Chain A
Amino acid sequence: MSGFLAVLVVVLIFIVIFQIAKASEYVSILKGEKKAREQSNRINGFLLIAFLVLGLIGVYWCNDLLKGKILGESASTQGEGVDALIYVTLAITGVVFVLTQIALFWFAFKYQEKEGRKAFYFPHNNKLEVIWTVIPAIALTILVAFGLKHWFQLTSDAPKDAAVVEVTGKQFNWIFRYPGKDGQLGRRDFKAIDPANGNELGLDWNDPLNKDDFMPTELHLVVGKPVKFIIGSRDVIHDVGLPHFRMKMDAVPGIPTTLWFTPKFTTKQMQEKTGNPDFTYEISCDQMCGSGHYSMRGVIVVETQAEYDAWVAKQKSTYDLTHAAAAPAAPAADSTQKVIAAK
């Protein structure tokens, strides 16, 4: 009933607007087309300049309102470069934005149709056109140069001493694997995947390198130490999104990808910095991967070396967990899989 009323109200508003519009058409015929045209030009000219002024104020106000809600300082050393580039780009595009919008709306207002005004026949001017071809070209060259410098840094090979973590996406969570004491990840084959027996990644148990690999439900990283992610997917394309670290890389089935960065602040430091005791580093899935895409959340804990060592010491290797006599249930119980199966 209330839905019906809402529709009725909307329809009534429509009819009222329409009747006014219709009447204004008759009025303009009565007043004479010329006069109506002058009036509509005056009103619209005023609205254009009002839009410009209020719009620019609005841009400032919106920034004031929302600037506290974006991420703040980059939490990785690599991300500093990204932020620097964003500021340079913001400065250049910001100036262009303000100048061109002012010119557009100001000219529209100033040169609105007036009795007796003659438009200026100005078909082209080579000098002007060369100027505004060259200036953007120079500005863009600067941006390309800066951008590529950072791009090659960001995509460079990870340092030799970087820690290595394997991150594998599946519908709809992340599977993490650490190489264990030997520092090397063991072999795996997707055909050996066997979630029922706790082998989420298809680890090859005959490979001795696999014996000490462990698979926690959260990622733990050491502050100030570079870490390299080896990224893959078990089913569809996912994407490892690390907004605080300004990093992102697709997880593609069959094609491993990598990224590396150096965390700058521990989770605790970030909680203090942001004044938010619940602050958590999150991994978001940034590539549409199915109905649970929005819930594909991973948690990263950045901590000191000592805390990290203590944490590692508590981890049991996946091999031990799955080969214990009682064969305990797989970690990371797979609830999403069931949802899919039920459909």
Chain B
Amino acid sequence: MSNEATLHSQQEVMHGAHDHHDHEHHHEDSFISKYVFSMDHKMIAKQFLITGIVWAIIGAFFSVLFRLQLGFPDATFPWLESILGHWAKGGRISAEAYYALVTMHGTILVFFVLTAGLSGTFSNLLIPLQVGARDMASPFMNCLSYWFFFLASLVMMASLFVQTGPASGGWTMYPPLSALGDASIGSKIGVDLWLTSMALFVVSQLLGGLNYISTLLNMRTKGMAMTKMPLTIWSFFFTAVLGVLSFPVLLSGFILLLMDRHAGTSFYLSDIFIAGKALANEGGSAILYQHLFWFLGHPEVYIIILPAMGMVSEVLAVSSRKPIFGYLAMIGSLFAICILAFLVWAHHMFVTGLNPFLGAFFVLLTLLIAVPSAIKVFNWITTIWKGNINFTPASLFSIGFVSTFISGGLTGIWLGNSSIDIHLHDTMFVIAHFHIVMGVSAFFGMFAGIYHWFPKMYGRFMNSTIGYIHFWVTMIGAYLIFWPMHYEGMAGMPRRYYDVSGWASFKQFGGLNEFITIVVILVFAVQLLFVFNFFYSIFKGRKMTTQNPWNATTLEWTTPIHAGHGNWPGEIPEVYRWAYDYSKDGRDFIPQTEPIGPNESAH
């Protein structure tokens, strides 16, 4: 009842306001309020996306730089010195710079691109449009959420330019390495800036997450029962819940770290002798930080992958012209993943000296996640079975997503089993595993989303020929890069090694590292092609002429091509059915807004 009331008052306010400026005050949308401090969820989505793209280019470029070192440890590249200065004296990246690049690559891609850029973009864009709301529950908080993210970005960017360089202890920022400036040059001001930036980032995530949850719980249009929501919305819902419950724990861990750095506390420090003297700290536990970190860190990987899963479900259904198979099982498995995500964090810590008995439970719960994941994969495959698939760039990326999710997910079964993890922990096998399953997959989900909803965002299409080139080079390249990396890990080659040529056990992979680096450069170049296509198409892409270019059932395609703030010029449409009536009763698709006919079969 109260939901209805909120909704209706919202409608009236928005509707009233709308008439108001339609008729009289057009100047209300100044440049600042329309493009900068916008409160329109669609504009905020674009802000997140474009900021995310800028970060993605930087983060990916860093990986090209450190792959150059790993692939060609003996070569010199004079141009490196011109861009990195004393960090690459004589054209060879120094070890300190290498570790700074690795750390920033991880931080940027995990948090700034695949969290803010992915769920920030699509939760913002799709939640109001697909549940039938005029905007978020609090457009102002939503605006703040972006600007906190922007501030976090500024601070992180600034840390790249300080004298002692950015943080360089790995994206997990384990103390004591990150707590002691004497332990690493990157642990001087770089870590303070990193922590500040991440604190701002957490604020941004909480503002966003609370908004997503309250919007989709309270502001669904008439008839939009929870079980009628598209899977995208369900996935954004669980993503936001994960974020809201786990980011505060991360922040607490960071605050303790900050106090260890500057207030003389010993939360994480004990028995340390460094730079020629013994420190006074005693009784702290460096492992405590890892618990706090991974309590977010593990849900974080689901924060990254769930939105991609949701969008892929939607895109596969639309392009196969079939309902998603097992809608309820899909929600159930999302829910199971969401719960289990909180119960598996210590599988990152099997070799820290964790009590083996406790470790056993984490093995069990970790491998349990494979069950809902398997259900999802089988359901996606069944969704395309006997479909009528149109290969748009979005649907190709969705198929690619399922493929990489399988490949990377299966190696998760290896690593989740603690006995195998002992051997493979912190090796290149782990790098291969998580890059395939949450790096490449999440990016594929994001690309699918961008290609699919680009027309909704900008009223134009992206060039699909470039889209196809983009997909095929990325798909082939991703496997060429990460598949052989498993073998390096099987040989025990540790991750984060600046140079393996001094090791009898690992130097046999020199040639392979070279090959991987060359593929990385190629794949990076193709991503730039995508970025170019993206920006070019905003201004010059083929124009959208119909409201519903993909013949989809969901609500976002009932809005005008260039929807203003408030999304629907008139009443918000009412919803009568679920989002997946494709090819039912001989009809290609039936929009959610069409009332159930008298002779219609049930689903």
Q: Which residues of A does B touch, CB under 8 Å? A: 3, 10, 14, 17-18, 20-22, 24-25, 37, 40-41, 43-45, 47-48, 51, 55, 58-59, 62, 66-67, 69-71, 79, 81-82, 85-86, 89, 92-93, 96-97, 100-101, 103-105, 107-108, 111-114, 117-125, 128-129, 132-133, 136-137, 140, 143-144, 147-148, 150-152, 154-155, 170-171, 190-191, 193, 195, 202, 234-237, 239, 241, 243-244, 246-250, 252-255, 257, 278-280, 282, 284-295, 297, 337, 340-341, 343
- Determine whether B431 belongs to the interface, using a CB cutoff of 8 Å to chain A: no
- Determine whether B560 belongs to the interface, using a CB cutoff of 8 Å to chain A: no
With beta carbons under 8 angstroms apart, the residue of A25, A117, A190 that contacts B463 is: A25
B329: A residues at CB distance < 8 A = 124, 129
**Which residue on chain A has the smallest CB distance to residue B281?**
A254
With beta carbons under 8 angstroms apart, the residue of B377, B487, B536 that contacts A66 is: B487
The verdict on A111 contacting B388 (CB below 8 Å), with A150-B419, A257-B353 known, is yes
- Determine whether B162 belongs to the interface, using a CB cutoff of 8 Å to chain A: no
In the assembled complex, the Cα of A269 lies from the Cα of B279 at a distance in Å of 45
Taking a contact as CB atoms under 8 Å apart, the answer to whether A191 and B278 are in contact is yes
Taking a contact as CB atoms under 8 Å apart, the answer to whether A246 and B353 are in contact is no
Taking a contact as CB atoms under 8 Å apart, the answer to whether B542 and A246 are in contact is no
**Which residue on chain A has the smallest CB distance to residue B102?**
A288
Taking a contact as CB atoms under 8 Å apart, the answer to whether B499 and A294 are in contact is yes
B595: A residues at CB distance < 8 A = none
With beta carbons under 8 angstroms apart, the residue of A81, A104, A191, A254 that contacts B406 is: A104
- Determine whether B154 belongs to the interface, using a CB cutoff of 8 Å to chain A: no
In the assembled complex, the Cα of A252 lies from the Cα of B177 at a distance in Å of 11
Q: How far is the CB of B267 from chain A (nearest CB, A)?
A: 12
**Which residue on chain A has the smallest CB distance to residue B472?**
A47
A101: B residues at CB distance < 8 A = 403, 406-407
Q: How far is the CB of B367 from chain A (nearest CB, A)?
A: 5
- Determine whether B399 belongs to the interface, using a CB cutoff of 8 Å to chain A: yes
In the assembled complex, the Cα of A193 lies from the Cα of B536 at a distance in Å of 63
19 interchain pairs (CB within 8 A)? A20-B465, A44-B396, A70-B491, A71-B505, A100-B377, A100-B406, A111-B384, A111-B388, A112-B389, A120-B386, A125-B326, A144-B367, A151-B359, A154-B422, A247-B422, A253-B269, A255-B286, A286-B495, A289-B177
Residues of B within 8 A of A (CB-CB), count: 135
Q: How far is the CB of A280 from chain B (nearest CB, A)?
A: 5
In the assembled complex, the Cα of A210 lies from the Cα of B410 at a distance in Å of 50
B504: A residues at CB distance < 8 A = 278-280, 282
Taking a contact as CB atoms under 8 Å apart, the answer to whether A290 and B275 are in contact is no
Taking a contact as CB atoms under 8 Å apart, the answer to whether A82 and B374 are in contact is no
Shortest beta-carbon contacts, A-B, top 7: A243-B492, A254-B270, A155-B356, A257-B353, A120-B386, A21-B465, A147-B417
In the assembled complex, the Cα of A171 lies from the Cα of B359 at a distance in Å of 29
B371: A residues at CB distance < 8 A = 133, 136-137, 140
Taking a contact as CB atoms under 8 Å apart, the answer to whether A45 and B391 are in contact is yes
Q: How far is the CB of A259 from chain B (nearest CB, A)?
A: 9
- Determine whether B321 belongs to the interface, using a CB cutoff of 8 Å to chain A: yes
B525: A residues at CB distance < 8 A = 10
A119: B residues at CB distance < 8 A = 320-322, 386-388, 582-583
**Which residue on chain B has the smallest CB distance to residue A192?**
B278
Taking a contact as CB atoms under 8 Å apart, the answer to whether B391 and A190 are in contact is no
Q: How far is the CB of B478 from chain A (nearest CB, A)?
A: 11
A291: B residues at CB distance < 8 A = 94-96, 99, 168, 184-185
- Determine whether B339 belongs to the interface, using a CB cutoff of 8 Å to chain A: no
In the assembled complex, the Cα of A214 lies from the Cα of B528 at a distance in Å of 58
The verdict on A129 contacting B326 (CB below 8 Å), with A25-B465, A150-B419, A151-B419 known, is yes
In the assembled complex, the Cα of A17 lies from the Cα of B512 at a distance in Å of 29
In the assembled complex, the Cα of A82 lies from the Cα of B495 at a distance in Å of 20
Taking a contact as CB atoms under 8 Å apart, the answer to whether B387 and A235 are in contact is no
**Which residue on chain A has the smallest CB distance to residue B329?**
A129
Taking a contact as CB atoms under 8 Å apart, the answer to whether A85 and B417 are in contact is yes
**Which residue on chain B has the smallest CB distance to residue A149?**
B419
| Chain B 165-180 interface residues, beta-carbon cutoff 8 Å to A | 168-170, 174-177, 180
The verdict on A147 contacting B363 (CB below 8 Å), with A47-B472, A69-B487 known, is yes
With beta carbons under 8 angstroms apart, the residue of A105, A121, A133, A248 that contacts B582 is: A121
Chain B 497-517: CB-based contact to A (< 8 A → 1; otherwise 0): 111101111101100100000
New A-B pairs, 11, CB < 8 Å, besides A25-B542, A236-B174, A255-B285? A21-B463, A89-B413, A104-B402, A114-B388, A121-B322, A124-B328, A235-B183, A253-B272, A254-B285, A257-B353, A294-B499
Chain B 316-356: CB-based contact to A (< 8 A → 1; otherwise 0): 00001111111111000000000000000000000111001
In the assembled complex, the Cα of A132 lies from the Cα of B373 at a distance in Å of 11
Give the interface centre of A55, A58, A128, A286 by most chain B CB atoms within 10 Å. Answer: A286
Q: How far is the CB of A29 from chain B (nearest CB, A)?
A: 8
With beta carbons under 8 angstroms apart, the residue of B271, B374, B417 that contacts A254 is: B271
In the assembled complex, the Cα of A223 lies from the Cα of B384 at a distance in Å of 57
Taking a contact as CB atoms under 8 Å apart, the answer to whether A249 and B499 are in contact is no
In the assembled complex, the Cα of A21 lies from the Cα of B407 at a distance in Å of 31
A121: B residues at CB distance < 8 A = 322-323, 582-585
In the assembled complex, the Cα of A97 lies from the Cα of B410 at a distance in Å of 7
Q: How far is the CB of B85 from chain A (nearest CB, A)?
A: 16
Give the interface centre of A51, A101, A107, A244 by most chain B CB atoms within 10 Å. Answer: A107
B352: A residues at CB distance < 8 A = 250, 252, 257
The verdict on A151 contacting B425 (CB below 8 Å), with A103-B381, A143-B367 known, is no
Taking a contact as CB atoms under 8 Å apart, the answer to whether A144 and B491 are in contact is no
Taking a contact as CB atoms under 8 Å apart, the answer to whether A44 and B468 are in contact is yes
In the assembled complex, the Cα of A170 lies from the Cα of B273 at a distance in Å of 9
- Determine whether B423 belongs to the interface, using a CB cutoff of 8 Å to chain A: yes
**Which residue on chain A has the smallest CB distance to residue B587?**
A121
| Chain B 542-601 interface residues, beta-carbon cutoff 8 Å to A | 542, 580, 582-586
**Which residue on chain A has the smallest CB distance to residue B393?**
A44
Taking a contact as CB atoms under 8 Å apart, the answer to whether B491 and A69 are in contact is yes
Q: How far is the CB of A189 from chain B (nearest CB, A)?
A: 9
- Determine whether B282 belongs to the interface, using a CB cutoff of 8 Å to chain A: yes
Q: How far is the CB of B2 from chain A (nearest CB, A)?
A: 32
With beta carbons under 8 angstroms apart, the residue of B276, B418, B502, B586 that contacts A295 is: B502
A148: B residues at CB distance < 8 A = 360, 363-364, 418
- Determine whether B264 belongs to the interface, using a CB cutoff of 8 Å to chain A: no
**Which residue on chain A has the smallest CB distance to residue B480?**
A58
The verdict on A104 contacting B403 (CB below 8 Å), with A18-B532, A190-B278, A241-B492 known, is yes
**Which residue on chain B has the smallest CB distance to residue A279?**
B504
Taking a contact as CB atoms under 8 Å apart, the answer to whether B465 and A85 are in contact is no
Taking a contact as CB atoms under 8 Å apart, the answer to whether A243 and B423 are in contact is yes
The verdict on A133 contacting B417 (CB below 8 Å), with A237-B286, A254-B284 known, is no
A195: B residues at CB distance < 8 A = 276
- Determine whether B225 belongs to the interface, using a CB cutoff of 8 Å to chain A: no
Taking a contact as CB atoms under 8 Å apart, the answer to whether B286 and A293 are in contact is no
Taking a contact as CB atoms under 8 Å apart, the answer to whether A22 and B463 are in contact is yes
B269: A residues at CB distance < 8 A = 253-254
A25: B residues at CB distance < 8 A = 463-465, 542
B491: A residues at CB distance < 8 A = 69-71, 243
| Chain B 269-300 interface residues, beta-carbon cutoff 8 Å to A | 269-276, 278, 282-287
